Structure 1
C-alpha cells in the first residue's frame, strides 16, 4: 500500500515552494514530502548540487519552524544523503516520467518507509552526532546502489 499518493506535479512543486518560502505546514513535512523534495531536486540539479540545496533548504526550514539543527535533532546529513542516493536510483529507472509518478514509485518502493535505512545503518551509528554533521558509511551492510 502506498502511504501517500501524489496525484499531480503541482503537489510536488507546492512542497518545494513551501520549503523555499518557509510556508510549508510542519505536519506536511512527512517522509513522503522529503522524498518528493529529493525527486524534485534531482530533476533540476546534479546529485551533489541537489544534496547541497536540500541540506540548505531543510536546515533553514527546520530553524524557521522551531526545530533547531543540533547534534540530536533537526537536519541529518547522513539520512538526507542516503535518501537522495536512494531517490536517484529510482529516478534513473523512471527518466522522462512526470515527477508525481516518479515520486509515487519511490514512495511505493522499499525506501517509502523511513525504516529502510536501518537495513544499512545501526541506530547507534545513524544517530551519532557525526552522522548528523557528515557522511557516515553504513555499518550494517553497504548500500546496493553506490
Structure 2
C-alpha cells in the first residue's frame, strides 16, 4: 500500500451533504474525490435503507458523472469493479466496527486499509483492475479472494 493522507470530515453534515448530493446530482465535480466516494457509500449503506445500493450504485454514479459533464465509457467515468469492491469493503467495515457518528465512522474507514486508494490492488493485478471489462462490469479478483468476515 502507498502512503495516503486522506481528507477527513469534521461533521456528520458534511457526509450527509455528499450522500444526498450524489443522489440529487448537486455536487460540484471537484467535490467528487476518493474520500467523497467512500463517505457517500458509507452514508448510503448506513443511513439509506430505502436504497438498494448494490442495484442502484452504477446508475447513481453514472448519472452524477454525466451531470457534471463526464462520460461513462471504456476509458473513463464509472468503473464497475472498483465501485463494487469498495461497496463490499465499506459494508464489511460497517459490520466489523462499532457504531458511531457518520463523520467518525467515515474517518475511521478512510484511515483503515480499506480506505486507501490502492486497496483493491491487494485483490487485483493492475492489468485486470484497470481493464475495459473491469470498468464496464464486475470482474473477480485474480490476486487474492476478497475477505468476507471480520
- Name the TM-score, length of structure 1 as normaliser: 0.89
Query: How many residues in Structure 1 have an aligned counterpart in Structure 2?
Result: 145
Structure 1 residue 39: Cα displacement: 0.4
Q: Which residue of structure 2 aligns with residue 110 of structure 1?
A: 113
Q: Distance in 2 between matches of 1:93 and 1:100?
A: 17
Distance in 2 (alpha carbons) for counterparts of 1:7 and 1:93: 23
Range with bigger deviation, 34-43 or 123-132 = 123-132
Q: 2:14 aligns with which of 11, 28, 53?
A: 11
The alignment yields a C-alpha RMSD, in angstroms, of 1.9
- 1:58 pairs with one of 58, 61, 71: 61
Aligned-pair CA distance for 1:112:
1.9
Deviation of residue 125 (structure 1)?
0.8
SS of corresponding position for 1:84: helix
Q: Structure 2 unaligned runs (5+)?
A: none
Match of 1:136 in 2: 139
Deviation, structure 1 residue 17? 2.4
In structure 1, stretches of 5+ residues that fail to align are none
Name the structure with the higher helix share: 1
TM superposition score normalised by structure 2: 0.87
Partner deviation per Cα, 1:55-86 (whole Å, 9 max, x = no partner)? 22110011111210001111111100000111
Q: Bigger shift: 129-138 or 31-40?
A: 129-138
Candidates 41, 45, 52, aligned match of 2:49 = 45
